[in-house]
């Protein structure tokens, strides 16, 4: 082992002596050039190979002019002549597990073709009746033409936000406070229609616009609450009055029906009573007629008429009442013929008895 190590040390000393200083510098330069070329090659490969994700596109320029659009997938570009166009982009980010919204602004070389939402916060607007209110709105838009979105407008998200804000102020300026609260759907449709006209020139389609919240000042809010309370009290009083009126109408109809039914009942009772009295009188008359007929048959052949007999009988039945009445001294004048007939009748009755 000692002999071997001595031989290796001797060989290394001979090699170092044989190499000159210029040869060592050439070797170091070769390795440095190799490293530089390797780094440049890696940078060129990284700049020339582009991977575009789904729902994204990339605008590529050559010598500062539009060259082509890279769709989702892997693409190879000239790292010297071609450059992706950088654009300004902004979106709302809500971290997982939190409820805090963060607006993220970045410079990117990819155009997102998905639907985006812009919440531009509370905006102070003035209504037609000069009431300052705060409105919170949302705008949903989608890029339909990447070329127009990149070359026709400098800052697309901010432009859409400012366009929506100014259009919203113009619409609210023609509406009163009550119309603003009761016309949200109309405001949404008008806002979408008017913003779409300008956004279409930028290669953007406004999907929908939603009024998220309308907040009046505190004094106006208090006045509106008092108005709502008064309106509810008025409706309650009106409903109560209507209920009382309907109750009175129903009660009067019931009373009228009761009167009609009572009248109908009285009429029916009177008719039945009259019919009963008529039948009773008819029965009495028939009985009297039968009695008179029997009396006439019994007195047939005598000089006394049946009528005179009946009159005499009524006189005899009424005579005690006349004598025992409240005025016994009252004089009753009778015709002489009646007296004679009664006398003859009285003379005949003992003979028959």
Q: What pLDDT score was predicted for residue 8?
A: 45
- pLDDT band, very low/low/confident/very high, at 1 (cuts 50, 70, 90): very low
Are 183 and 242 in the same domain? no
Q: What is d(CA 105, CA 88) in angstroms, rounded to the nearest whole number?
A: 7
| Domains: count for the chain | 4
Q: What is d(CA 353, CA 351) in angstroms, rounded to the nearest whole number?
A: 5
Are 175 and 240 in the same domain? no
Are 111 and 166 in the same domain? yes
- pLDDT band, very low/low/confident/very high, at 16 (cuts 50, 70, 90): very low
- As a whole number, mean pLDDT of residues 135-140 equals 86
Q: Is 41 a domain residue?
A: no
Are 256 and 186 in the same domain? no
Q: Is 8 a domain residue?
A: no
Residue found under tokens 């052949």? 301
Pick left, alpha or beta for residue 209 (phi over 0 → left; psi -120 to 50 → alpha; otherwise beta).
beta
- pLDDT band, very low/low/confident/very high, at 320 (cuts 50, 70, 90): low
Are 236 and 211 in the same domain? no
Are 279 and 254 in the same domain? yes
Residue found under tokens 């009772």? 269
Are 209 and 226 in the same domain? no
Answer with the one of 195, 216, 237 that is the final residue of a domain: 216
The torsion angles phi and psi of 12, rounded to 5 degrees, stand at -65, -40
Are 245 and 338 in the same domain? no
Q: What 3-state DSSP class applies to 178? A: helix
Are 207 and 117 in the same domain? yes
Q: Is the pLDDT of residue 7 over 60?
A: no
Q: What is d(CA 62, CA 81) in angstroms, rounded to the nearest whole number?
A: 5
Are 262 and 328 in the same domain? no
Q: What is d(CA 153, CA 88) in angstroms, rounded to the nearest whole number?
A: 10
State how far Cα 50 lies from the chain centre: 53
- As a whole number, mean pLDDT of residues 318-335 equals 59
- pLDDT band, very low/low/confident/very high, at 2 (cuts 50, 70, 90): very low
Q: Calculate Rg over the CA atoms of the chain.
A: 63
Answer with the one of 216, 240, 264 that is the final residue of a domain: 216
Q: What pLDDT score was predicted for residue 329?
A: 52
Q: What 3-state DSSP class applies to 123? A: strand
Q: What is d(CA 243, CA 237) in angstroms, rounded to the nearest whole number?
A: 10
Q: What pLDDT score was predicted for residue 23?
A: 64
What are the tens digits of pLDDT across the range 100-130?
Answer: 667 777 888 888 888 888 877 788 888 888 8
Q: What CA–CA distances, in Å, run from 44 to 30, 41, 76, 77?
A: 21, 5, 11, 10
Are 139 and 238 in the same domain? no
- As a whole number, mean pLDDT of residues 293-307 equals 69
Answer with the one of 181, 216, 251 that is the final residue of a domain: 216
pTM: 0.54
Q: Is 126 a domain residue?
A: yes
Pick left, alpha or beta for residue 130 (phi over 0 → left; psi -120 to 50 → alpha; otherwise beta).
left
How many residues are recorded in the chain? 353
Q: Is 201 a domain residue?
A: yes
Are 189 and 237 in the same domain? no
Q: What is d(CA 57, CA 14) in angstroms, rounded to the nearest whole number?
A: 64
State how far Cα 95 lies from the chain centre: 35
How many other C-beta atoms can be found within 10 angstroms of the C-beta atom of residue 120?
Answer: 18
Domain holding 328, by residue range, is 302-352
């Amino acid at each position: 082992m000692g002999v071997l190590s001595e031989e290796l040390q001797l060989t290394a000393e001979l090699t170092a002596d044989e190499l000159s200083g210029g040869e060592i510098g050439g070797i170091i330069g070769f390795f440095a050039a190799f490293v530089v070329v390797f780094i440049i090659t890696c940078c060129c490969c990284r700049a020339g190979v582009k991977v575009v994700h789904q729902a994204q596109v990339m605008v590529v320029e050559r010598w500062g002019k539009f060259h082509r659009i890279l769709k989702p997938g892997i693409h190879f570009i000239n790292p010297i002549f071609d450059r992706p166009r950088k654009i300004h982009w902004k979106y709302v980010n809500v971290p997982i597990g939190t409820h805090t919204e963060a607006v993220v602004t970045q410079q990117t070389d990819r155009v997102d073709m998905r639907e985006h939402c812009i919440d531009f916060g509370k905006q102070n607007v003035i209504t037609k009746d000069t009431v300052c209110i705060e409105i919170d709105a949302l705008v949903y838009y989608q890029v339909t033409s990447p070329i127009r979105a990149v070359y026709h407008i400098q800052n697309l998200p901010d432009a859409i936000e400012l366009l929506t804000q100014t259009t919203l102020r113009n619409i609210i300026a023609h509406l009163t406070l009550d119309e603003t609260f009761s016309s949200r759907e109309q405001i949404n449709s008008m806002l979408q229609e008017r913003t779409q006209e300008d956004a279409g020139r930028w290669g953007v389609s406004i999907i929908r616009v939603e009024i998220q919240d309308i907040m009046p000042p505190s004094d106006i809010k208090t006045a509106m609450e008092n108005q709502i309370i008064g309106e509810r009290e008025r409706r309650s009083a009106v409903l109560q009055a209507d209920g009382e009126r309907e109750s009175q109408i129903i009660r009067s109809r019931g009373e009228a029906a009761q009167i009609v039914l009572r009248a109908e009942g009285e009429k029916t009772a009177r008719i039945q009573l009259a019919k009963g009295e008529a039948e009773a009188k008819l029965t009495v008359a028939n009985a009297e007629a039968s009695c008179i007929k029997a009396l006439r048959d019994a007195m047939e052949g005598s000089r006394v008429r049946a009528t005179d007999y009946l009159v005499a009988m009524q006189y005899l039945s009424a005579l005690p009442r006349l004598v025992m009445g409240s005025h016994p001294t009252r004089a009753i004048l009778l015709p002489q013929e009646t007296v004679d007939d009664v006398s003859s009748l009285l003379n005949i009755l003992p003979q028959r008895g």
